[in-house]
Amino acid sequence: QVQLVESGGGLVQPGGSLRLSCVASGSIFSINAMGWYRQAPGKQRESVARILVRGSTYYADSVKGRFTISRDTAKSTVYLQMNSLKPEDTAVYYCNIHTSFDDYWGHGTQVTVSS
């Protein structure tokens, strides 16, 4: 059974930093991309960052220059380094693994940016 577990969320002041981690367990084959999504109250889920199998990365315009996605294949982990956080970054953040056959999702970790 495949399981994704996010961690690293919390309460941080504007301008602060957090590093989110997502650890995957179980058998996952033919990974095409890994990514982070977020959903704020009353808003649609949106893509924040993605990293493709060959290493290309993509970011939402709202987070470019502030967030960095990375992965550690040996540890089956994908990370999201978030710097210069703003109140509008407040959301539940979900990790995703996209394969040729399935999509897998974690249960999310809360990020709150507030003074």
Secondary structure (DSSP) of 5-25: EEE--EEE-TT--EEEEEEEE
Is the predicted pLDDT of residue 18 greater than 90, yes or no? Answer: yes
Q: Provide the percentage of residues in the chain whose pLDDT is more than 70.
A: 100
Residue 39 pLDDT class (50, 70, 90 cuts): very high
Place of tokens 């990370």: 79
Three-state secondary-structure class, residue 76: coil
Distances (CA, A) of 69 to 41, 55, 114, 115: 23, 10, 23, 25
Is the predicted pLDDT of residue 74 greater than 90, yes or no? Answer: no
